[in-house]
Every structure is written in C-alpha cells, then in structure tokens.
Amino acid sequence: MELKEGRYSIQGLDIIDLVSQYGTPLYIYDSAIIKRQLDRLNAAFKVKKLGIHYACKALNNINILRLINQWGAGLDTVSVQEIWTGLKAGFSPDKILYTPNCVGTDEIEMAINLGVQVNIDHIETLEYIGHHHPDTPLCIRINPHVMAGGNEKISVGHIDSKFGISIYQMPLVERLVKTLGLRINGIHMHTGSDILDPGVFTLAADILFDIARKFPDLEFIDFGSGLKVPYKDDDVCTDVEELGAILSDKFNQFCKDYGRDLSLYFEPGKFLVSECGFFVVKTNVIKQTPSTVFAGVDSGMNHLIRPMFYGSYHHIFNLSSPAGKPRVYNIVGYICETDTFATNRVVNEIHPGDLLCFKNAGAYCFSMSSNYNSRFRPCEVLIHEGKHYLIRQRETIDDLLKNQVELAL
Ligand SMILES: *Cc1c(COP(=O)(O)O)cnc(C)c1O
C-alpha cells in the first residue's frame, strides 16, 4: 500500500474509492504481494526439485487458489473440502498434499480416491491403509518434538501436541511399513507457525534426514511451514534467503548420501498471503469511559478473530486521516463479547465515520470468520494487474437463513 498526497492506494487504485464502491467491512487482497512472496521462496532454495505447496486454510478464496496454481505452486490441504476447492481451482491431484489431523477413515478414503498425496499422522491410519490400500504411496508426518512457534496455540511440534507421529515411535512405523508392504514416498514435519530462527529448521532437518535414511522409496521431504512475516515495522521475521541457503546445502548433501535427488517441499500459508491482505472497517462510535477511549468499529471477532484468539498484533491505521494527530485508543468490535482488536494503540485521531485499515489481513482472517451475532461476512476484493475485482459478495439475510429448516410451529 502506498501513501501519496494524502491518499492510500494499492497498485494505483485509491482505497477510499474502493470503499465507496464496495462498502465496509471490506477485505482487499493485493495479488502482487503474493507473487512477490512466492518468487522470494522459489529464489531462496537452490535445489534440483523444489515444491512450494500453498496451505490454503490461510485464505481459501478460489481466485487466490487459481492464481497460485497459474504461478506454478501446489496446494496443501487439511480437509476433503479444501481438496474439492483446490481441484475446482484447477490444481491437478498430484500437486495437492492432504495433511489431515484426527479425521476418520471415510475422509482418508475420499482423499485416496481423489488421487492426492496423503500425509499420515496417526499409526492406526497407517495400518488401515496398509490393509485396504497397500499400493497407495504415503507420506508420514513426524513430530520431531522441536519446541518452536510464536505462541503455545500455534506451536505444534511439542511433546503434548496432537499432531504428527512421535519420532520415538519410528521403530513401530518401520515395523508396520515392512510387514504391510507400504510404500513411504515422503517424510513431513510442521513444527508450528512463526519460526524466527533458521537454527530450528536445521535442527529439525537433521532429525528428518536421520529418519529419511530408513525409507528407501522417498520422493520428497516436506519441511511444513512456520515462516514468519513482519507484523510490526521493527519485527524480526524469518530470513528466508538465509534459511534457503543453509537448508539447500544440507538438503543437497543429504540427497548425495541418499543416492538420489529428492524434492524439497514447503507448505507456506502465512508467508505467502499474510501481507497481501488489508481489512477496512468504519468507525461507528468514539466512546470515552473514565479510563479509556474506545473506537468502536463496524466489525468484530466475527470477521477477524486473531487478536482475541491468539493475542495477535495487527497494525491499524486511520485511512481517513493520514496526517492527523496521534492519540491512544482501545479499538473494539461491535459484537456482544469483549472483542478487542487493539489495546492502548496509537492511531491518528479517530472520528466517527473514519475508515481504519488493518494490515496483515490476508492469512487466517477471512478464513476464520463466522456469522456470530447473525452478522454478515464481509466481501472480498482482489486487486490484480492494476484492476479490482469482487471475488466474494457480502452476505445477505438469505445466506444466514438458507440452511435453516423452518417448521410450521
Ligand atoms: C497450517 C499449516 C501450514 C501453514 O502454516 P503457516 O504458518 O500459515 O505457514 C502448513 N502445513 C500444515 C500441515 C498446516 O496445517
């Protein structure tokens, strides 16, 4: 987003003009930022075969998926519904990874029948597939028990985590693979979001390589994600260029030892789409209490839950007042819960009617939205090659009622 002569714009399109056309609350995505991030990843890893698979739970609009498919990346899915969306967006099944957790065998069956790469994180499921689909190549999700991640809720590699098969259970996995004649074509880990330190990856890489040597039929090793992007101006974030250099060297050396060139996979969600998103809301009220000045906006935890759910920071600025006097606010939603977006936040003086913009609104924002308080979900607008497109309509009362079965009471 650019600020020129008091007006904010994306790819040359004035944001306030877009708001006049589409209304608030409004999600806006800048496709050029997704492309930039994808190009960065592709350039960072110097290996023979690289597979970037976009973790679409971060932002699942089908048009975003279409672009990512056109740009050559694959897809990482966690549900059969995400697989269906991915197929509809044009991904071929062999570019889709399916990494479910705690799903039933009926859903695993569907994924196998759709021809996508299944990634297993439960020993009994491994046995089930061994008995029913012994020819299906499988990837194993390992929990390396490397403690990493931005906070407890998004750190999934620790000992109490429900994700993955523990490295301590590898002897059992090996026994099952041999006995049932399974073909293990991939090894996977995903230690959690927000990994700042390339050292965490290289430590986990060594663990994965050790395990990989035990499986002779591998085609890929998948390092999951956890690549962090800046949320604040001075934020530390994953240096993917440094990570790429270190990990590529290690990976190439491993392939030499292994005797074959494998593919190196990553599954970024946040890294690709976090920064592309801008969420615009309108200030309804400025409400002063004895202790606090609240800015109450026409949105809430129903549209962007990360601050309440994870304690996440989203930078918020006053689109209507680029040169205003800075003041301190608690920025809150209109939901009948304590839905606080930001506490003690310095924002240029806010008046009722002012438009506020949230940054980093691409990942885990719309995709986590709900209809709580019977509110409509916002519309989504894509800015692509200098033009704007409505890619999801704002909901209406019909959307809220359409699956309700009205009885003649
Ligand atoms: C959510 C998820 C990702 C993406 O994580 P980010 O932190 O958004 O990059 C990757 N792989 C799996 C298996 C996931 O569940």
* Every domain of the chain and the residues it spans: 2-29+274-401, 99-268
Report which protein residue has its CA nearest ligand 1's atom 1: 55
pTM of the entire predicted model: 0.95
Q: Provide the CB-side half-sphere exposure for 251 (13 A, CA).
A: 24
- The three-class DSSP label of residue 380 is strand
Which residue do the tokens 């530390």 mark?
236
Q: What is the CATH number of domain 2-29+274-401?
A: 2.40.37.10
- Given this model, what pLDDT does residue 153 score? 46
266 alpha carbon to ligand 1 midpoint, in Å? 9
Report the alpha-carbon distance of residue 357 to residue 277 in Å, rounded. Answer: 10
Contact 275, 362 (CB under 8 A): yes
DSSP state of 168: G
* Residue 237 annotated in active site: no
> What does the pLDDT look like over 59-96, one tens digit per residue?
999 999 999 999 999 999 999 999 999 999 999 999 99
Q: What is the CATH number of domain 99-268?
A: 3.20.20.10
Phi and psi torsions of 53, nearest 5°:
-115, 115
Per-residue model confidence as pLDDT tens for the chain (409 residues): 999 999 999 999 999 999 999 999 999 999 999 999 999 999 999 999 999 999 999 999 999 999 999 999 999 999 999 999 999 999 999 999 999 999 999 999 999 999 999 999 999 999 999 999 999 999 999 988 865 544 444 455 566 678 889 999 999 999 999 999 999 999 999 876 456 677 777 888 898 999 999 999 999 999 998 888 888 888 878 889 999 999 999 999 999 999 999 999 999 999 999 999 999 999 999 999 999 999 999 999 999 999 999 999 999 999 999 999 999 999 999 999 999 999 999 999 999 999 999 999 999 999 999 999 999 999 999 999 999 999 999 999 999 999 999 999 9
Helix (H) or strand (E) holding 362: none
263 alpha carbon to ligand 1 midpoint, in Å? 18
Residue from 336, 357, 365, 379 carrying the catalytic annotation: 336
